Amino acid sequence: MKVSLEWLRELVDVHQPAEDLAEILTRGGIEVGGIDYLNQGIEKVVVGEITSMEHHPDADKLWICEVNLGDQKTTIVTGAQNLLLKDRIPVALPGTTLPNGVHIEVSKLRGVESSGMLCSTEELCLDADAGDPRSEDGIMILPTDTPLGTTMDTLFGQGDCVLDLELYPNRPDCLGMINVAREVSSLTGGELHLPAWAETEKGPDYPADPQAKIIIDDPELCHRYAGLVVEDVKIEPSPAWLQKRLKAAGVRPISNIVDITNYIMLEMGQPLHAFDRDAIAGAVHVRRAQSGEKLMTLDDAERELDSEMLLIADDEKALGLAGVMGGLNSEITDSTKRLFVESAHFSGVSIRRTSRRLGLRSEASNRFEKGVNPHGVAASLGRVAELVIELGAGKPVGFVEKISQLSEPAVVTLTVEKTNTLLGTQLTAEEITEVLKRLRFSYHEEAGAYQVEIPTYRADIAIEEDLIEEVARLTGYDRIPTTFPQGDQTQGRRTPEQEFRRKLRHLLIRLGLNEVMTYSFTRPDADRKFGDMEQAIPLLNPLREELSVMRTALLPSIMEIAARNIARRNLDIRLFELGSIYKSKERPLVQLPQEELHCAGVIWGKSPRHWTTPVTEYDFYTIKGIIEEIAREFGLELEFRVPQQAELTHPGRSAEIFLKGEKIGFMGEIHPALGKEWELERALIFELAVVPMMDASNRNIRAYSIPKFPAMHRDLAVVVPLEVSAQDVMKRIKALGGELLEQVDIFDVYTGKPIPEDRKSLAFTLKYQSLDRTLKDEEVNALNQQVLDGIEKEFGAAWRK
């Protein structure tokens, strides 16, 4: 936001120089990025009149001019060819440094002394159309009635400087001069002199125009819309003072009507747009564009619209992009006789989306995106009517308004105690009261607290902490004392979850697996097979269609990496990932989804078990061994059960994994149909929920002495029904063997003759050992018999001798 200091001084009493004011604003949280002095370099350039001209005796293209400066005369040699006698022109006297950096001194040109230089608009950094049309060919030609000796900064009103405010998104109010004036007043104590329309929310007192009907078709995107009807319009250039202020703000003057709308936008922060009333057929509609609808905007570009864009239209056609740019079919021209001036409050999100999709930015869209004051919509049109009458640009005759929703001013509670607690200060109630008065906020005290009504133009203040920030700004950040951080020091360490994840990761790496990290989103069809699509969360703005849902399983992403490696002839795949999956049944999300930590892996190819042995393929027991190592590392008692439905894994080479009766994952060889689809035939896969394992893990370490006494081994073969699980039998053997049964391993599963068809043979090795004595055969045989009797009774087992 470029702020003219001359304009600002009309709105608020400012006695400080520009540099001091910039320092005050910056200390108050409104950063000033720079100061542009508009009079720099032309304050010593004066108006002169050419009283005589003659050719240089030694150069046909040079003129020797006698110039009258009012109080003195001087001789200047020039090569300009657009000069005539009696022309009044700008003269740079010796010692002057022009805006373009050229320093003027007395010099000799072909033997003739020249005391100064005649200047062009380019050398003075003025607009090319600032002088007579003949100025385009060389020296700037001024009007014949221009007073001699007048300095150019006085003549062109350039005795001004501009503060360049670098506003943050939380202060859109300062995109209007009246709010900058309010800010300066609160920081300096200067008295305000705002236009009357800045202190009211009412619109101009004109009757409603029955022909200017407003229809808001989408109240969610347009909250308030008002229009001013002006007749007997006279399109002409704006007065010099208005053009000067627009130029200082970086806005190009166009015509009186357009300049009035731009001026009030800069003054009050409310974007406006003027339509040719005769180009509007019927009512004014605020509606969404139809998909594929086209509009020729004021920049002569035809733009294709979509249904997310908001339009201003009539009964027949589109008139403009709401809050962004008007349409060419309703622009103001020299033949315009009637106006419809728009003032509205649009959804900032809608304007931002439209502006970005079309690559079209404007001063209006910038303000709507950041937020404008909805309560200032009508009053801005009152200010339009006032300026139209003042400039003689037309006759306001009607005012019409439509409101779909209008929020009430916020009321925020502020206490002295919390203010001092947050800021670390000792401010008194009187000091905080003074801050509220300087801000011109209405308030009343209630039960030791301030109930503060926040003006609608300060949308950045919504909670008590926002008001406390205002107190800090206006009392001075330098009053906040410097304190050292305090608190109990603790030794840095990993949390139990971090330590578990670290150990699990290192264990899998020691077992020969390589860790990968993938996106948290995946393909819907892949996730549908491995995860839970009912709880999958679709992305609103996916990177691409293949990554359009948050994953509910890790395996699809790892399998894609495995398939990609195999396609590139990497034939030994051992991958795992430790990451989160995401689930929620809400559509759309209103709270954070359920996030679960999982561990998954894929193994495919051949593995050299030892350099002296031949290469062998990975099999089911490879993956089972990895899971058993995880259980052994963390003291988990995992159970392996035959899957009820094997959709992802091979029916006869897979298992579901249970912990304390709860299913936490699965493992096994991939289902042949899936393996063919992914080109991962015979791949081994697993996926585990990590949190249940972490909760059940035994983190206590118990140390035992190395046994001094020998162990005794017994083999036990039993015949059991086919449906009996070997794991259940092994678990029962451990329980029956007691403390002396150190280890149980299964080494054979057999079906076939002479075993009956409905039964199978299981063979186990039992290791008995004591830490304090040598076991006797009788003692071990008794235990072995106890084990046999127990499993015969529970499983209907028969001892196979």
**Annotated binding-site positions for Mg(2+):** 460, 466, 469-470
d(CA 543, CA 523): 11
CB-CB contact of 626 with 602 (8 Å): no
Which residues are CB-neighbours of 406 under 8 A, at least 6 positions away?
A: 223, 224, 374, 375
Going by DSSP bridges, is the β-strand pair 117-118/88-92 parallel, antiparallel, or unpaired?
Answer: antiparallel
E strand intervals along 386-490 = 395-403, 411-414, 442-446, 449-453
> How far are the Cα atoms of 348, 352, 358 from residue 355, in angstroms, in the given order?
10, 5, 5
Is 246 in contact with 381 (CB distance < 8 Å)?
Answer: no
Q: What are phi and psi of 386, to 5 degrees?
A: -65, -45
Q: Enumerate residues 6+ apart whose C-beta is below 8 A from 316.
A: 281, 282
Cβ atoms of 527 and 687 closer than 8 Å: no
Neighbours of 502 (CB within 10 A): 12
For residue 632, with 0-12 CB atoms within 10 Å meaning exposed, 13-18 middle and 19 or more buried, which class applies?
exposed
Query: Distance (Å, rounded) from C-alpha 556 to C-alpha 750?
Result: 36
Contacts of 573 (CB under 8 A, 6+ apart): 562, 565, 566, 602, 603, 604, 605, 683
Quick check: 254 and 298 in contact, CB under 8 A?
no
Do the beta carbons of residue 386 and residue 341 sit within 8 Å? Answer: no
Q: CA-to-CA distance for 411 and 443, rounded, in angstroms? A: 9
Tracing tokens 């491995």 back to the chain, one arrives at: 530
Rounded distance between C-alpha atoms, residue 192 and residue 11, angstroms: 6
Distance between CA atoms of residues 673 and 529, nearest Å: 12
Distance between CA atoms of residues 452 and 542, nearest Å: 44
**C-beta neighbour count of 563 within 10 angstroms:** 18
Smallest CA-to-CA distance from 77 within 86, 64, 89 is with 64
Lateral strand order in the sheet of 449-453: 411-414, 449-453, 442-446
Query: DSSP letter at 455?
Result: P
Measured CA to CA, the distance from residue 384 to residue 261 in angstroms comes to 7
Rounded CA Rg of the chain:
43
Q: How far apart are CA 429 and CA 437, in angstroms?
A: 12
Cross-strand pairs, 452? 412, 443
β-pairing, 572-583 vs 514-515, is parallel
- Cβ burial of 589 (10 Å; 0-12, 13-18, 19+) is exposed
Strand partners, 102: none
Helix (H), strand (E) counts: the chain: 20, 38
Which of the 8 DSSP states describes residue 330?
G
Can you name the residues that pair with 97 across neighbouring β-strands? 103
User: Omega before 754 cis (within 30°)?
Assistant: yes
Given its phi and psi angles, is residue 642 left (phi above 0), alpha (psi -120 to 50 degrees) or beta? beta
Q: How many residues comprise the chain?
A: 801
Annotation: binding site:
460, 466, 469-470
Q: Whole-angstrom Cα distance, residue 368 to residue 323? A: 7
* DSSP states of 628-650: HHHHHHHT--EEEE--SS-SSEE
**Residues near 499 by beta carbon (within 8 Å), at least 6 away in sequence:** none
